[in-house]
Amino acid sequence: MQVINKKIIVIFICLCMISFGVFKLFNKEKVVLDDVKLDIRDTNNTFAIYLENEYNSNNYFESKENEFPSIGYSFNEEKSQCVSIDGDVIDNILSYDNETNKVIVDTTDSINCYLYFDRLTLGDAIKKLNPKGLNSEKEGGLFRFQGSIDNVDNYVCLGSECQSGSDNMYRILGIDENGSVKLLKETSIGRYAWHSNDNENVGWDESDLFKRLNTNEDSFLNQLSENIQSMIEEKDWLYGAIAYTSLALSPEEIYQVEIGEKQNEYGHTWKEPFSKPLSERTTSDYPRGSVKAKIGLMYIHDYYYSVQEGGLTCSNVDKEYAQTCYNSWTRSSYDIENILTRWQYNNSIKAYGKWTIYYRNSKGWINDAGNQSNRASTRPVFYLKNNLLITKGDGTKDNPFIIN
């Protein structure tokens, strides 16, 4: 190794792997931390590493383990500093290379350095890893995973058994602007009716399926561990009904009609909730409103946007992209699947004497399911809180993101 006048200490900060503690430096030239191997040979200098305990808390603890920060952290260059053995702050000797993830300390003096690492939001940590299929542009309110079945690395495991097909496996639909992560269960929890009574005009929060997912004693939510339940964010789930012809709208238009700024267009005025008791509702009273809950279902726009960047219209009204829609990564089986938004028919949700719903059919289209009592596959959807931490994984089926 060539001797130089200045000592350059290079520390690889492999943010995708590690967290680390206090280290001694021994070499007057260059030190390289290669993955988890540490080779330091000088007692004149020390490094202390401080990790933020929660996202945006500004509270730090000193790491005691001989490992680098994990993939859920970023280097805080402004807060980090080095001081001389006399305690004087030494300016302009710390720098960070974003491309190579290296912290460089450039000095000829004996020093003590204090390196600070900030917690990223869960969503920002995933975006920083740039997994396959994640769109860097926000569409329909989320940074979405888009593509065919085998071209999206968005697997998440919430438990100890992490094989594809297990109850612990989920897929990421997208990431919101606050860093919360919207998950879709990889497999169905069973075939359930949206509502068992075809003669009752109910909203989503009154339906049997909502109760099966959220409030029943044996609900999907209550069957999760307390730890996983604490990881789920309670959200406002907007619900309503849209006309069959509206299925041919673009993904952006469907999003705006379902939960965006155009809920009062196309005849879909669903911002105001029911004002009548169940027994007094007529065909002109169709469900609209919102409910605060932890568990929901996919919206129509979630499916349209999942197909490819920019999304596609995947409906029985417009079959131009049928094969591409069929190959969306969100399709897990050939069974029909429940959707949150209802079918509006002639300004009501009653058709042929029965209250009706939409589903995604076995061909990959959004279609009307007819009676709300029809059973279909059900995959819960929920948001993970933004303050959770990825501990390992790359999002592939064999190496899913592990989140705590």
Q: What is the DSSP string of 233-301?
A: EPEEEEE-EEEGGGGGS-HHHHHHHHTSS-TTSTT---SSPP-S-GGG--TT----EEEEES-B---HH
User: Do 147 and 14 have their domain in common?
Assistant: no
Sign of the alpha-carbon torsion through 92, 97, 98, 102 = negative
User: Do 88 and 172 have their domain in common?
Assistant: no
Q: Angle 112-114-115 (CA atoms, 0-180°, nearest 5)?
A: 135
In a domain, 70, yes or no: yes
1-60 tens-digit pLDDT = 333 333 444 444 333 333 333 333 333 333 333 332 223 323 355 778 899 999 999 999
In a domain, 283, yes or no: yes
User: Do 58 and 185 have their domain in common?
Assistant: no
In a domain, 65, yes or no: yes
Last residue of a domain, one of 60, 86, 119: 119
In a domain, 18, yes or no: yes
- Whole-number pLDDT of residue 86: 84
C-alpha distances in Å from residue 337, one per residue of 241, 323, 363: 17, 18, 11
User: Do 302 and 324 have their domain in common?
Assistant: yes
C-alpha distances in Å from residue 205, one per residue of 64, 263, 274: 48, 18, 11
Place of tokens 């429940």: 338
In a domain, 1, yes or no: no
User: Do 230 and 109 have their domain in common?
Assistant: no
Place of tokens 């726009």: 301
- Distance separating alpha carbons of residues 190 and 24, to the nearest angstrom: 56
Last residue of a domain, one of 68, 93, 119: 119
What is 198-244 written as a DSSP string? TT----GGGSHHHHHHHTSTT-HHHHS-HHHHHHEEPEEEEE-EEEG
- Whole-number pLDDT of residue 45: 58
User: Do 89 and 126 have their domain in common?
Assistant: no
What domain range is 284 assigned to?
121-404
70-107 tens-digit pLDDT = 688 988 988 999 998 888 898 888 877 766 667 777 87
In a domain, 2, yes or no: no
User: Do 91 and 125 have their domain in common?
Assistant: no
165-202 tens-digit pLDDT = 889 999 999 999 999 999 999 999 999 999 998 888 78
Place of tokens 């561990």: 225
User: Do 56 and 127 have their domain in common?
Assistant: no
User: Do 233 and 328 have their domain in common?
Assistant: yes
How many domains is the chain partitioned into structurally?
Answer: 2
- Whole-number pLDDT of residue 209: 97
Pick the more confident residue, 73 or 275: 73
User: Do 355 and 289 have their domain in common?
Assistant: yes
Length of the chain: 404
User: Do 99 and 228 have their domain in common?
Assistant: no
Tokens of 203: 């909203």
237-263 tens-digit pLDDT = 988 777 777 888 889 988 988 887 665
In a domain, 231, yes or no: yes
Last residue of a domain, one of 119, 154, 185: 119
Q: Are 19 and 67 in contact (CB under 8 A)?
A: yes
Q: Is the pLDDT of residue 275 over 80?
A: no
Q: Are 307 and 314 in contact (CB under 8 A)?
A: yes
97-150 tens-digit pLDDT = 766 667 777 877 778 888 899 999 999 999 999 999 999 999 999 999 999 888
DSSP state of 315: B
Is residue 287 very low, low, confident or very high in pLDDT (cuts 50, 70, 90)?
Answer: low
In a domain, 391, yes or no: yes
User: Do 100 and 198 have their domain in common?
Assistant: no
